[in-house]
Structure 1
Amino acid sequence: MAIPSPPVGGTKRDRTKAALIAAFWDLVDEGGFAAASLEAVARRAGMTRGAIYSNFASRAELLLAAAAVRGLKIDRDFSQPGTLAEQLDRFAQGLVLALPNAPGTQRWHAELLLHIATEPALKAQVAQGFTALFEVMAAQLQAQHGDELAIPAASLALAIQALTMGLIYQAIISPDAVTPAAVFEAYAALARGAVRQVEG
């Protein structure tokens, strides 16, 4: 995936952030994550290290912002009306559209996971981001489905994310195995299991 050019529009801060992220990915593509030190990023972008700290609180924040640029774009909004089955079917549609790009993320994704596992500050920041994501998803699921859920909304949010990550990683390793039909069937099964069954 090509590194986006700094936007022509937007604020100066937006353009600076985009330039720093572009410089970060240039360095990662050339020498891996270890090559993208704050000093190296600043030099590549033609800026001072202070410019980085004016826009990103830490290297971890810069790394996560850069990963968001290249990561798969998957809409996790569950606030729209519909049954859980309908919502997860819409979600599956978005994932199916994104999955063909998953193999292209393999190299940098593996390095990112290694950094997350070995850098406590980065791991804590990633965990904090997921906590916030789960809270939003759980609130939306609870508001839409309430007492019909067979498991707590927070557990369902976690299950959706875990299934999604599993399918993405499997698509990286064996893309032919992760067919659209299999994706839709997996989320349909999750929807059936997460809703209380009415005894007839």
Structure 2
Amino acid sequence: MTQASLTRPKGDKRARTRAALLAAARELIREQGYERTTLDAVAKRAGMTSGAIYGNFKNREDLFMALTEVHWAPIKPVIRTGSSFAEKMRALSEATIAAIPERQDAAYGRLTGMAYALTHEQIRARVREVTAQNFAAGASWLRAVADEGGLPMPADLLVCVIHALTEGLLFQRFLTPELVPDEAFHAAFAALAGAPPGE
């Protein structure tokens, strides 16, 4: 046993195993889509047994939901203290643009996973649950960052609008980057804040 293995936390091996499985799943989904990616194939690609999968994930859906949480996590802007709501929306548009490379790499998996969820109620229920949690956290954040002028609509509705706006802009950018410049992101979020696009 080496000194490094003696000092390495026990959870480190589990974290590395989990990361390797997620990386293998991501590669396979990129190559063949969500529907055709099996747990056996993920384990084989990661150089592990299927037992490694079940030691880290309950089932296929659990593995793929974890993949979404890692590669399609909610976008979190850096907010300057004392900034106006328009400035906060500008920070959100900038954070969305900054997320483009990572999201583009995960876009095919995201789309095939969404298509799968449309026809499989168990995974759709799980997506609904995770989305509801994210929406609740987002609405809470919006209430906390609202300035004296308040929000342009109730926070629960605004978070849904921001989510739809973000997803739409991102996927259109992936498909037709020349038609969806950064300015389109900035203008869309400025409009939500009731501000001119340049602000």
How do residues 1-200 of structure 1 correspond to structure 2 at under 5 angstroms? 11-71=12-72, 74-75=75-76, 81-99=82-100, 103-145=104-146, 148-192=150-194
Q: 1:63 to 1:104 in 2, by over 3 A?
A: same
Tell me, what secondary structure is at the counterpart of 2:194?
Answer: helix
Single out whichever of 142-151 and 161-170 deviates more from structure 2: 142-151
What amino acid sits opposite 1:123 in the alignment?
R
> Letter of the aligned partner of 2:150 in structure 1?
E
AA in 2 matched with 1:130 = T
Q: Provide the rounded CA distance (Å) in 1 between the counterparts of 2:78 and 2:133.
A: 13
TM-score, scaled relative to structure 2: 0.78
Residue 187 of structure 1 aligns with an amino acid whose one-letter code is F
Q: CA separation of 1:30/1:138 partners in 2, compared to 1, >3 Å: closer, same or farther?
A: closer
CA distance in 2, matches of 1:26, 1:20: 10
Pair 63,76 (structure 1): closer, same or farther in 2 beyond 3 Å:
farther
CA contact (8 A) 1:23 1:44 kept: yes
Change (3 A) 1:103 1:142: closer
CA distance in 1: counterparts of 2:130 and 2:77, whole angstroms: 14
Q: Distance in 2 between matches of 1:144 and 1:192?
A: 16
Q: CA-atom RMSD, angstroms?
A: 2.9
Q: Structure 2 vs 1, CA of residues 105 and 15 (structure 1 numbering), >3 Å: closer, same or farther?
A: closer
Relative to structure 2, which stretch is displaced further, 147-156 or 157-166?
147-156
Deviations 1:33-69 (A, max 9, x none): 3332122222333433332222112211211222444
How many residues matched?
Answer: 186
Aligned CA distance change for structure 1 residues 50 and 105 (closer, same or farther; 3 Å): closer
Once residues 165 and 157 of structure 2 are traced to their aligned partners in structure 1, the CA distance between those partners, rounded to angstroms, is 12
Q: Which residue number in structure 2 is paired with residue 3 of structure 1?
A: none
Give the aligned residue type for 1:114.
A
Distance 1:182 1:51 in 2: 44
In 2, Cα distance between equivalents of 1:159 and 1:115: 23
AA at the equivalent of 1:98: A
Deviation track 1:83-141 (CA, whole Å, cap 9, x = no partner) reads 21111100111122233565544533332221121222221111111111111111121
**Structure 2, unpaired ranges of 5+:** 1-7
Please report how far the alpha carbon of residue 151 of structure 1 lies from its aligned counterpart in structure 2 after TM superposition. Answer: 1.7
Unpaired stretches in structure 1, ≥5 consecutive residues: 1-7, 194-200
Distance 1:22 1:144 in 2: 35
User: In structure 2, how many angstroms separate the alpha carbons of the residues matched to 1:113 and 1:22?
Assistant: 19
> What secondary structure, in the 3-state scheme, does the structure 2 residue paired with 1:11 have?
helix
Q: How far has the Cα of 1:159 moved from its partner? A: 1.1
Percent identity over the alignment?
34
CA 1:106–1:24 in structure 2 vs 1: closer, same or farther (change >3 Å)?
A: closer
8 Å contact kept, 2:57–2:63: yes
